[in-house]
Chain A
Amino acid sequence: GNSVTQMEGPVTLSEEAFLTINCTYTATGYPSLFWYVQYPGEGLQLLLKATKADDKGSNKGFEATYRKETTSFHLEKGSVQVSDSAVYFCASDSNYQLIWGAGTKLIIKP
């Protein structure tokens, strides 16, 4: 079946550092891909999405490009802030559900 694999955390960075969180997927067909973020004590928020190959999703300085050839959707940000500390989930859609990665906890130190 479909699956999503993302890098394990926690990932600890200093403020203004460059961020990459890796995500790869396996799927039949061409799913839409998503990054969700969960801040402490809160529900999930959609961060960005891409619906077809080579699409780039972007929001709040975060970007991810749908790479069909490498089945990847890595999340990047050029300069992280303390307020970006959260858990980030990669997901793909399949048969009326989202298939989730395990989540990556991001810790940004001042």
Chain B
Amino acid sequence: KAGVTQTPRYLIKTRGQQVTLSCSPISGHRSVSWYQQTPGQGLQFLFEYFSETQRNKGNFPGRFSGRQFSNSRSEMNVSTLELGDSALYLCASSSTLGAYYEQYFGPGTRLTVT
């Protein structure tokens, strides 16, 4: 099976712009999660979607939003970019079958805000 893919891999934006990141989960996986990774804050949970419904959301401002499509692909959007939004954005998918919740990660999108 193909792994989780994320596009684009690298992105440079200026303050005030908006950006959309895309994630394609492993085939058959219906849950997609997004995380932000920075050297200072580590890994922080953004949101999780299952069958187009957001089931949980992290503690991020409303500028961060996401959605999931019927084919389980997901996008996240950041509006009015700030310098502090520079980070590696990781997407993970999960089948949510079984008694545990095992996530498979994509390579990430490196966002730089100047």
B21 near A: Cβ within 8 Å? Answer: no
A27 near B: Cβ within 8 Å? Answer: no
Question: What residues on B are CB-neighbors of A32 within 8 Å?
Answer: 99-102
Residue of B4, B45, B107, B108 touching A97 (CB-CB under 8 A): B45
Q: Does A102 contact B42, Cβ atoms closer than 8 Å?
A: yes
Question: What residues on A are CB-neighbors of B55 within 8 Å?
Answer: 96
Min C-beta distance of A52 to chain B, whole Å: 8
B43 near A: Cβ within 8 Å? Answer: yes
Give A92's nearest chain B residue, CB to CB. B101
Q: B50-109: which residues lie under 8 A (CB-CB) from chain A?
A: 50, 55-56, 58, 90, 92, 99-108
Question: What residues on A are CB-neighbors of B106 within 8 Å?
Answer: 43
Interface residues on B, range: 20 to 34
Q: Does A93 contact B42, Cβ atoms closer than 8 Å?
A: no
A51 near B: Cβ within 8 Å? Answer: yes
Chain B facing A: main interface SS? strand
Q: Does A49 contact B102, Cβ atoms closer than 8 Å?
A: yes
B22 near A: Cβ within 8 Å? Answer: no
A46 near B: Cβ within 8 Å? Answer: yes
Q: A58-110: which residues lie under 8 A (CB-CB) from chain B?
A: 89, 93, 95-103
Q: A4-55: which residues lie under 8 A (CB-CB) from chain B?
A: 32, 34, 36, 42-46, 49, 51
A34→B43 CA distance, assembly (Å): 14
B31 near A: Cβ within 8 Å? Answer: yes
Give B46's nearest chain A residue, CB to CB. A97
A36→B63 CA distance, assembly (Å): 29
Residue of B45, B100, B105 touching A43 (CB-CB under 8 A): B105
User: B interface vs A, CB < 8 Å?
Assistant: 4, 31, 33, 35, 42-45, 48, 50, 55-56, 58, 90, 92, 99-108
Pairs A-B, 4 closest by C-beta atoms: A32-B100, A44-B105, A100-B43, A43-B107
